[in-house]
Amino acid sequence: MSLDDWQLVVGLEVHAELATNTKIFCGCANSFGDEPNTNVCPVCLGLPGSLPVLNRSAVEFAARLGMALECTVQPSVFHRKNYFYPDMPKDYQVSQYDLPINADGTLELPDGSVVGIERAHLEEDTGKTTHMGGGGRIHDAAYSLVDYNRAGVPLVEIVSRPDIRTPEQAQAYATELRAILAATGVSDAKMEEGSMRVDANVSMHKPGEPYGTRCEIKNLNSVRSLGRAIRYEMERQVQLLESGERIVQETRHWDEDAGRTRPGRSKEQAEDYRYFQEPDLVPVAPDDEWLASIRAAMPMLPAARRTRLAAQTGGDVDVALVVERGLDDLVLEAIAAGGDPGRLLVHASNNLSAGAGELSARPFAELSKLEATGALTATQAKTVLAELVTAGGDPAAIAATRGFEAMGDDALAAAVDAAIAADPEAWEKFKAGDRKVTGFFVGLVMKTTKGKADGKAVTALLDARAQS
Amino acid sequence: MTTAQQIADAVRAGERSASEVLEEHLAVIDEREGDVHAFNLVMRDEARAAAVAVDAGDRTGALAGVPVALKDNLCTRGIPTTCSSRILEGWRPPYDATVVARLAAAGAVFVGKTNLDEFAMGSSTENSAFGPTRNPHDLDRVPGGSSGGSAAAVAAGFAPLALGSDTGGSIRQPAALCGVVGLKPTYGLVSRYGLVAFASSLDQIGPFAATVADAALLLEVIAGHDPLDSTSLDRPLPPLVSGLGDGVEGLRVGVLTELVHAEGIAPDVRRRVEAAAEALADAGAKVDEASVPAASFGLSAYYLIAPAEASSNLARYDGVRYGLRVDAENTAEMNAATRTAGFGPEVKRRIMLGTYALSAGYYDAYYGKAQQVRTLIIRDFAAAYDSFDVLLCPTSPTTAFRLGDKTADPMSMYLNDVCTIPSNLAGDPAISVPFGAGDDGLPVGVQLLGPALSEGTLLRTAAVLEGALR
């Protein structure tokens, strides 16, 4: 079998929960992790006689995403998608069908490739079923419990065109889309909490021939799983195709532990959803003025933010991560306040998580300056930074309280010389060019100075001694 | 007989108490309900408490102390709401329908929940899981349907007012058969919030009353914008009661050819329509023949659109959350067992019909085509209203038929709605007003149709016919 003879074709369907305060058709709180069945009312429980009323914020959030994805934001209509499922209160899902709010967009990835967006439409989420007994699997469960807190949470379903050609590109698409959802405030886009869910349509064909039959891979709970599942599916499909078999169009579930996909529903068993226009809602026709105000309030998107940050910091792979964590504004402000760009970027990509707690730009800048001038070592700076995140304050004062005085050059030189003297055998190796023992000497100096030494300065001194 | 208006006036003036009025009506119920079976539930205790509250309160409501019967597909907080179906037996809604809340705020006293064809699907109230309602004028005859319980309650004097719902004639046809006034408002005039849905794009709640003035009074209380119903019209309705005596001088009345001469219209019914046309002409109206060609296709379109929407609306009765559950090996089998046991044959027939009409490969030929017919009906009515203010036709093809006469043949039952369905498809208002009797001595209703929000015109025209009979 040779994958080289085959071309992968992937289209992604991403569901993202909108970060609105309330649900899409009622006033219940849109909140993750609450006590089951506490954020419910007659409407989201689908009680007889109840009627939906569209949440204006949900339309606004969807339109904002559509604009971020360069879609045409257009008048739209809701349809009912009919099928029976216990966690769906009305046994139909209110969704959009032939007239979605957003159509025909694009998403440009960091590598410059462009993936087409077919549509990004609004719909309601279902409840969540937990199967009790029998190891949590539906077939041998003793009974099931349903939590309707999630029922009626607004979703956008973003459908890409089948433009993706490698597993890495699929991962980059999911990552970039997640960054856009977060940056626009449309969704918190947490795959681990299910507020962003990715399904992958995967097929293989030989270049120049028509596209192959696709399988839809579900249950992908991380960007990593997405890549693994596509790679598995490529091999599975090519193996079948090269042994002369046909691919069955079906839904397959990714099993993270087993590292494989398993068959689900095939096309022959597929539901007929009997879509028809939802008679309880009226068509959505956002007026131009409102759309213009949404466009005017559009925050800067990740791609532009990456370019902006790279321009200030000299460009680095860390830039994407810093923007993804939403720390680029903080870094840029700290640079403007005189901070050291390199040190700031290192901290933002290695030592901070999204949010950055109590840390503000000015102390962050001060910290990087202390570090750049050698007043604090990298290790000390990291400790001070952690305290700035939890409690805020003045970096110099924190360093003083902790006894992080800058180590004098003489003291450092003495410590290095002591380390060299302690192991002449290792020192001979170092002098002979064996750089593997560098870490040994640095560690020794750190130990004797109780971490006050700057690792880079120690290495520089070792090099100087070796050459003299 | 005392009208709702008289009761409210007397209660407001302190001449009568709500409790006294209620006891009079409960006495009538005690006397005749055993024969008529208008109610699924008589709310004696709740009604007595409500009457006491009205008497102790400010008594200023438009319906202060007036007994009102509610069709049992209107949600009442804490009170069983069955839709005359086994599948909802025992379910108590945690909320009031908007119309129920508005009536309560106006001082109305609810005497009970009235019987209906299961989920409002039928024209005789024989499709009730709890047994049929009988016509107070002749207990061997049906009261019509689906709001047969509400029509019979008003006709029997159980309450001067009742609410029904009308999807294809379910207010007007039983009103005609029971000799009372029934009005289907413009789609969106009355909030559907809390009305258990049959066919959402056609359903409207409307009033039953013994007199035109009382129907106007009730409609004024329940009409108006409701933010809980997205299809609710956000427009003020001109006052209805105050214009009732304005007459029909110069009004352009069209006798609707396609429906007057439709197949199955009994000669005695047609003669009453002709008499109504004469009465209106005598009162100064300009009467001529009118044509709405697409109206003839209304019945066919309706029996695709209404079941299609019903198949979706009734999916939620799956045994998971409320009402009946018949346990089985797995969820899908539990759903099927529950629905098999909980729904009656007519409901099942319409769910199957609607599911079929929406299926892949059949949608265009059935549901899609029916929607096109609906567009034509709207267009043809609009054209007719360029030349006419009001259209006149029968409400029901015949007077009340005997129980069991049409239960074996669904198609003959469906034909009862041939004259009423077009207004639902068009979304326009229509009223049925009693206008004498047929050859069998049973009541005949004539129907007046008008363009959207013409309720005021329809009511004053109906008032002229009502006056002509006296």
State the pLDDT at residue A326: 84
State the pLDDT at residue A314: 75
- Chosen from A26, A41, A50 to mutate, greatest number of chain B CBs within 10 A: A50
E strand spans, A313-421 = none
State the pLDDT at residue A269: 67
Per-residue b/e over A129-162, b at no fewer than 16 CB within 10 Å?
bebeeeeeeeeebeeeebbbbbbbbbbbbbbbeb
Residue B256 has φ and ψ, to the nearest 5°, of -80, 95
Look up residue B72 and give its two tokens.
């049992």
Domains and CATH numbers, chain B: 4-243 (3.90.1300.10), 245-295+377-469 (3.90.1300.10), 301-357 (no CATH)
Angle, alpha carbons B215-B219-B224 (nearest 5°):
170
Give the minimum alpha-carbon distance from B245 to chain A in angstroms, rounded to a whole number: 36
The residue type of A213 is T
State the pLDDT at residue B111: 98
Instruction: Identify which of B201, B230, B331 has the shortest CB distance to residue A51.
Output: B230
pLDDT grade for A451, boundaries at 50, 70 and 90: confident
- Dihedral sign (CA B173, B178, B183, B188): negative
What are the chain B neighbours of A144 within 8 Å (beta carbons)?
331
**Alpha helices for B254-398 (secondary structure H):** 257-260, 267-282, 298-313, 331-342, 345-357, 369-387
Q: Is residue B421 within 8 Å of B432, Cβ to Cβ?
A: no
State the pLDDT at residue A1: 59
Q: What is the pLDDT of residues B346-359, one digit of tens each?
A: 999 999 999 999 99
Per-residue b/e over A191-218, b at no fewer than 16 CB within 10 Å?
beeebbbbbbbbbbbeeeeeebebbbbb
Q: Is residue B18 within 8 Å of B65, Cβ to Cβ?
A: yes
B418: left (phi over 0), alpha (psi -120 to 50) or beta: alpha
pLDDT grade for B239, boundaries at 50, 70 and 90: confident
A139 has a pLDDT exceeding 80? no
Instruction: Identify which of B81, B199, B315 has the shortest CB distance to residue A92.
Output: B315
Residue B287: other Cβ atoms inside 10 A: 21
Residue B147 is a catalytic residue: no
Q: In which element (H, E) is residue A4 found?
A: none
Q: What is the pLDDT of residues B10-24, one digit of tens each?
A: 999 999 999 999 999
Give the minimum alpha-carbon distance from A280 to chain B in angstroms, rounded to a whole number: 6
Task: Answer yes or no: do A82 and B315 touch at CB < 8 A.
Answer: yes
Look up residue A108 and give its two tokens.
């440009």
Task: Answer yes or no: do A279 and B196 touch at CB < 8 A.
Answer: no
The DSSP annotation for A90-152 comes to TSEEEEE-SS-SEEEEEEE-TTS-EEEEEEEEEEE---EEEEESGGG-STT-SEEEEEGGGTT
**Rounded mean pLDDT, B109-124:** 98
B301 has a pLDDT exceeding 60? yes
Which chain A residue is nearest to residue B362, measuring alpha carbons?
Answer: A274
Residue B71 is a catalytic residue: yes
Residue, of A418 and B150, whose pLDDT is higher: B150
**Rounded mean pLDDT, A150-179:** 97
State the pLDDT at residue A316: 59
Chain A residue set in contact with B, beta carbons under 8 Å: 42, 45-54, 80, 82, 84, 86, 89-92, 144, 146, 272, 274-276, 279-282
A18 has a pLDDT exceeding 70? yes
For chain A, which residues make up each domain, given as ranges? Answer: 3-293, 302-401, 409-467
Task: Answer yes or no: do A82 and B230 touch at CB < 8 A.
Answer: no
Q: Is residue B195 within 8 Å of B100, Cβ to Cβ?
A: no
Q: What is the pLDDT of residues A57-76, one digit of tens each?
A: 999 999 999 999 999 999 99
DSSP B146: S
Task: Report chain A's mean pLDDT, rounded to a whole number.
Answer: 91
What are the chain A neighbours of B203 within 8 Å (beta carbons)?
none
DSSP A432: T
A136 has a pLDDT exceeding 60? no
pLDDT grade for A251, boundaries at 50, 70 and 90: very high
Q: What is the pLDDT of residues A396-441, one digit of tens each?
A: 888 888 877 767 777 888 888 888 988 888 898 888 888 888 888 9
Using CA atoms, how far apart are residues B265 and B268, in angstroms rounded to an integer?
Answer: 9
What are the chain B neighbours of A53 within 8 Å (beta carbons)?
227-230
pLDDT grade for A192, boundaries at 50, 70 and 90: confident
Q: Which residue do the tokens 């032939």 mark? A: A98
Q: What is the pLDDT of residues A70-127, one digit of tens each?
A: 999 999 999 999 999 999 999 999 999 999 999 999 999 988 899 999 999 999 999 9
Residue, of A414 and A48, whose pLDDT is higher: A48
**Burial (CB count <10 Å: 0-12, 13-18, 19+), residue A243:** exposed
Using CA atoms, how far apart are residues B132 and B346, in angstroms rounded to an integer?
Answer: 14
Q: Is residue B434 within 8 Å of B462, Cβ to Cβ?
A: no
Using CA atoms, how far apart are residues A370 and B91, in angstroms rounded to an integer?
Answer: 71
State the pLDDT at residue A321: 83
**Burial (CB count <10 Å: 0-12, 13-18, 19+), residue B76:** buried
Task: Report chain B's mean pLDDT, rounded to a whole number.
Answer: 97
- Chosen from B100, B201, B230, B304 to mutate, greatest number of chain A CBs within 10 A: B230
Distant-in-sequence, close-in-space partners of B5: CB < 8 Å, separation ≥ 6: B213, B214, B217
Instruction: Identify which of B75, B201, B230 has the shortest CB distance to residue A48.
Output: B75
Q: Which of A52-61, A142-151, A411-420 comes out lowest in average pLDDT?
A: A411-420
State the pLDDT at residue A357: 87
Task: Answer yes or no: do B315 and A90 touch at CB < 8 A.
Answer: yes
pLDDT grade for A354, boundaries at 50, 70 and 90: confident
Q: Is residue A117 within 8 Å of A78, Cβ to Cβ?
A: no
Strands A250-255, A276-277: parallel, antiparallel or unpaired by DSSP? Answer: unpaired
Q: What is the pLDDT of residues A361-392, one digit of tens each?
A: 999 999 999 888 878 888 888 889 999 999 88
Q: What is the pLDDT of residues A287-333, one digit of tens each?
A: 999 999 999 999 999 999 988 998 888 765 678 888 888 899 999 99
Look up residue A11 and give its two tokens.
């289209």
What are the chain B neighbours of A91 within 8 Å (beta carbons)?
315-316, 318
State the pLDDT at residue A268: 63
The residue type of A204 is M
Look up residue A45 and give its two tokens.
């429980």
Using CA atoms, how far apart are residues B465 and B470, in angstroms rounded to an integer?
Answer: 9
Q: What is the pLDDT of residues B40-51, one digit of tens each?
A: 999 999 999 999
Residue B170 is a catalytic residue: yes
Which of these is catalytic: B123, B128, B146, B150? B146
Strand, helix or coil for residue B70 = strand
Look up residue B189 and give its two tokens.
């005039």
Nearest to B158 by CA among B193, B192, B134: B134
Distance of CA A371 to the CA centre of its chain: 31
Q: What is the pLDDT of residues B406-420, one digit of tens each?
A: 999 988 999 999 999
A270 has a pLDDT exceeding 80? no
Instruction: Identify which of B73, B227, B316 has the shortest CB distance to residue A46.
Output: B316
The rounded radius of gyration (Å) of the Cα atoms in chain A is 28
Q: Is residue B451 within 8 Å of B428, Cβ to Cβ?
A: yes
State the pLDDT at residue A109: 93
pTM for the whole structure = 0.89
- Chosen from B204, B320, B372 to mutate, greatest number of chain A CBs within 10 A: B320
- Give the CATH architecture of domain A409-467: Orthogonal Bundle (1.10)
- Chosen from A274, A277, A278, A284 to mutate, greatest number of chain B CBs within 10 A: A274
State the pLDDT at residue B92: 98
